[in-house]
Amino acid sequence: MSSSGKVYLVGAGPGDPELITMKGHRLLRTCDAVVYDYLVSTAMLEWLRPDCERHYVGKRAGLHALPQEEIEDLLVRLAREGKQVVRLKGGDPFIFGRGGEEALTLRKHGIAYEVVPAVTAALGCAAYVGVPLTHRKFSSSVTFISGHEQPGKEAVLEIDWGSHAQSGSTLVLYMAMGRLEEICQQLTARGMSPTTPVCVVEWGTTPRQRSVSGQLQDIVWRVQEAGVGAPAVVIIGAVAALGDSLSWFDPVI
């Protein structure tokens, strides 16, 4: 067993391959093995060495290509074979990406690792629809929330919608499309104005990007009408209305 194996938990960014960091790009070009997810742009695989080992472990909502424990076992095995392994994850590895769980497993097994941050979906999507997540006039904080409280069958974390409804912070919801109606109702019931602007961005920063704007009271209907679904982020707050005048990205399909 070689001791020089190492795992790099690399964020791929939200879609546009050019949004990866230079460090992530360098590691992809040189690594011995890559373990990658569903939301990772396949254009990035063209940077790999021809002899680089490729492992697709992608997931879709409710449909796991490979259970998390097996992904972690795979990372440990590849590193123990002495390989330089890139664990390529959509967005940032430490934002709703289970990167923390993978790092803990690697640490437990004494495997060396590094974490390479990246543009998380909230930042990429907001930028590409022209929504500044903070703005001196409208919002001085931003909160990332997972709308999917029970990924897999793990512990349910209670989200305090009341405190979010009252905070004045821009809210960005990940994994929320399946529960959008309930979340909008919760926020309205707990004091957020029904006319609060909302912008939903599907496949942000990719050629498939689509967005729908509305208000807390009508966004569910608008999203249904447009047929917009996962992967999407939901941006809630006064800044969401600015996308109408600041948008600049023309997706080309």
User: Least distance from C-beta 125 to ligand SAH, angstroms?
Assistant: 5
- Cβ of residue 112: shortest distance to ligand SAH, in angstroms? 22
Tell me whether residue 250 is one of the annotated catalytic residues.
Answer: no
Least distance in Å: CB of 13 to ligand SAH? 8
Q: Any catalytic annotation for residue 37?
A: yes
Residue 45 identity (one-letter amino acid): L
Q: Which two tokens stand for residue 111?
A: 């495997």
What is the per-residue DSSP string for 218-234? THHHHHHHHT--SSEEE
Bridge pairing between strands 84-89 and 33-36: parallel
Q: Which residue has the tokens 């190492």?
A: 6
Give contact residues for ligand SAH (rule: CB under 6 A): 14-15, 39, 89-92, 95-97, 120-121, 125, 174-175, 201, 203-206, 230-233
Which C-beta is closer to ligand SAH: that of 115 or that of 232? 232
Q: Which residue is nearest to ligand SAH (CB)?
A: 91
Which of 59, 83, 89, 92 does the annotation list as catalytic?
59
Residues 6+ away with beta carbon under 8 Å from 27 = 8, 10, 84, 86, 116
CB of 216 to ligand SAH, least distance (A): 18
Active-site hit among 16, 32, 37, 92: 37
Determine the Cα–Cα distance for residues 189 and 202; give it in Å rounded to an integer: 26
Residue placing its CB nearer to ligand SAH in the complex, 34 or 121:
121
CA nearest to 108, candidates 153, 75, 86: 75
Residues with a catalytic annotation lie at 37, 59
